[in-house]
Structure 1
Amino acid sequence: MSVNVAYQIQVPVTEIEDAARCNLYVEVAADHLLFGILDNNKREFIALQYVNLDKYNAFNHCKELIYHNEWLARSYNKVTVVYYFPESILVPGEEYDENLNKPSIDLIYGDLNKGEILTDKLPGWNVCNVYRVPVALHQLLGAHFPKGHFYHAYTMVLRRKTQVAGKTEGDEASLVFYPNKLLFALFRDGELQVMQTFEYETAEDVTWHLLNACRQFDADCEQIILRVSGLLDDHSSVYSELQKYFLNIELDERPADFKYNEAFNEYPLHFFTALFNTALCE
């Protein structure tokens, strides 16, 4: 099976004498696998790889990567896996009942997909993130990374939001772009209003979703701040389309808490910030 590597940054694997001094951060979705490696001694990210998974054989493609990628085969000081699957419910803390996890997911997303139901608790937000991931995938990653820590992408967005902003006034949205997919979170005065994933094919699809969300939540397009990160070129048609309707767009930057191998400079500063942020808010 061919490996469709979209982005790759790395030093030669032989230059790492002891992987036990490094942390591995992995993001897994239905259509991609992304991982980055942090050298703890230097506080420096030294490697990153983003692979587009075969849409018709994603699990086996992912399995092949997990077992045969020379970076993923090593033993690390810490392994953190972030799932990015859209089947997620943010349940208010006082309403959370573990016995309702599966019925709630099945009610909202259907019961055709027989997945593993996981929960991330976010006491700072007084919510529990209940989400579903493919059973075989969770078993694969759990067996390969027996000491791994597992979270959902929405959980990491909220944790990072707490770190960098606290309670801010007005409306702002976090946008994390992937090819044909957008993670969207809307905040008002620091309180979460909605978080969901939009799929898109055209630039107009993106603005339609965002304008619709703003209309539903009475957010002013001229006032709301869009904080943009992920795989979005600021010279792309999508970015140009955003500028037509939104006056306050800010491109995220990779956190200054870390150093980065000079090869990272080949890419815009906002490209992989979600992965770097994971290292700050486990």
Structure 2
Amino acid sequence: MLSAVYQIQVPATVPEDTTGCHLYIDIGADHLTFMVLNTAEREFLALQQFNLEKYNALTHCREVVSHNEWLNKSYDRTIIAYNFSDSILVPEKFYMPAINEPSLSLVYGDMNKGKQFVDHVAEWELYHIYRVPEVLHNIFAAHFPSAEFVHSYSCFLKTKKQSIHETGDELNAVFYNNKLIISLFKDGNLQLMRSFEYETSEDVAYHLLNICRRFDVDCEKVILVISGLIDDHSAVYAELQKYFLLLQLDQRPADFKYSEVFDEYPPHFFTSIFNAALCG
């Protein structure tokens, strides 16, 4: 069975009764992350992350979902956040359900048709249209029949509304394995949110600097908030320090309790999945 690359567990063994807990899953093309929240104590009990191989992702998902002990318990609530790049953010006043599918096909092509979803992100007066591989969705829908489905972008935007600066420019970069999600806000207004693939630190700098150029943002004055799988001693971080003067590492939400075992990892590592708990 596929092994977790990151594994945090507070109790010595998986509790017999988890019906008072919430389960949150973040699933993308290259990763599967889940965490369990004790809702009464507002404390996270477990977090695991798995890397998925490109051509074996479905097989890996089936293995993890079928055999992981935490994922075969009963929960009061299960929220699954999809993290795929085929998505479009549409202002409410322009939203027309009839053109959802044609719009996705126009932007991303029609070779990889999948299951289509729509999130209403009322905090930003947006509709978020996206699609996910249908076979993968069927795996999760069958195993978690009462699950709620949302996109990780939607969760990020809902929680970001509470902390966004109303003046000035702010970039956010969430790092995964060879992928990052970048969002840009100007005077509290969302300008862009999309994912980019990268291989080198220069790739990351290029994507961020290109966005600054396109949106007339001064890289020496913009706040750049970084989260996800990036080390502040890494080549990527050092490359960003060359161009961006106001770098900030994101912090874990203060709304929850964290056992000291979570301190073995940097606080910014898992903010994406923590946002799912805030979102739900």
Supply the distance in 2 between the matched residues of 1:17 and 1:4 (Cα, whole angstroms).
23
Give the deviation of 1:6 after TM superposition: 1.1
**Residue number in structure 2 paired with 1:231:** 229
Supply the distance in 1 between the matched residues of 2:122 and 2:41 (Cα, whole angstroms).
32
In percent, how many aligned pairs have the same letter?
54
Supply the distance in 1 between the matched residues of 2:224 and 2:53 (Cα, whole angstroms).
31
**Residue number in structure 1 paired with 2:185:** 187
4+ runs of 1 displaced by more than 6 Å?
Answer: none
**Residue number in structure 1 paired with 2:37:** 38
**Residue number in structure 2 paired with 1:173:** 171
Q: Equivalences for 1:194-213 in 2 at 5 Å?
A: 194-213=192-211
Supply the distance in 2 between the matched residues of 1:70 and 1:104 (Cα, whole angstroms).
40
Supply the distance in 2 between the matched residues of 1:269 and 1:194 (Cα, whole angstroms).
25
* 2:97 is equivalent to residue 98 of structure 1: yes
Give the deviation of 1:12 after TM superposition: 4.8
Q: Equivalences for 1:106-255 in 2 at 5 Å?
A: 106-165=105-164, 168-255=166-253
Determine if contact 1:118/1:131 at 8 Å carries over to the other structure: yes
**Residue number in structure 1 paired with 2:261:** 263
Q: SS where residue 202 of structure 2 aligns? A: helix
Give the deviation of 1:124 after TM superposition: 2.1
Give the deviation of 1:14 after TM superposition: 3.5
Determine if contact 2:2/2:63 at 8 Å carries over to the other structure: no
Q: What is the number of residues matched between the two proteins?
A: 280
AA paired with 2:114?
Answer: G
Determine if contact 1:4/1:53 at 8 Å carries over to the other structure: no
Q: Deviations over 1:165-219 (max 9, x none)?
A: 3x51010011111111100000000100011101100000000000000000000
Supply the distance in 1 between the matched residues of 2:10 and 2:83 (Cα, whole angstroms).
27
Give the deviation of 1:164 after TM superposition: 2.1
Supply the distance in 2 between the matched residues of 1:12 and 1:194 (Cα, whole angstroms).
41
Q: SS where residue 176 of structure 1 aligns? A: strand
Supply the distance in 2 between the matched residues of 1:281 and 1:82 (Cα, whole angstroms).
10
Calculate the aligned-residue CA RMSD, in Å.
1.2
Determine if contact 1:13/1:70 at 8 Å carries over to the other structure: no
Supply the distance in 2 between the matched residues of 1:4 and 1:239 (Cα, whole angstroms).
28
Determine if contact 1:13/1:71 at 8 Å carries over to the other structure: no
Give the deviation of 1:13 after TM superposition: 6.7
Determine if contact 2:14/2:70 at 8 Å carries over to the other structure: no
Supply the distance in 1 between the matched residues of 2:10 and 2:27 (Cα, whole angstroms).
22
Q: Deviations over 1:16-57 (max 9, x none)?
A: 241001111100001110001111122111100000012211
Give the deviation of 1:118 after TM superposition: 0.5
Supply the distance in 2 between the matched residues of 1:150 and 1:236 (Cα, whole angstroms).
34
AA paired with 1:277?
Answer: N
Give the deviation of 1:145 after TM superposition: 1.3
TM score, norm. by length of structure 2: 0.97
AA paired with 1:274?
Answer: S
Q: Which runs of 5+ in 1 are unaligned?
A: none
Q: Deviations over 1:248-279 (max 9, x none)?
A: 00101101111112211100011101111211
AA paired with 1:27?
Answer: D
* Bigger shift: residues 90-99 or 187-196: 90-99
Supply the distance in 1 between the matched residues of 2:123 and 2:177 (Cα, whole angstroms).
31
AA paired with 1:34?
Answer: T
Q: Which runs of 5+ in 2 are unaligned?
A: none
* Bigger shift: residues 12-21 or 97-106: 12-21
Q: Deviations over 1:221-251 (max 9, x none)?
A: 0110011111100000000000000000010
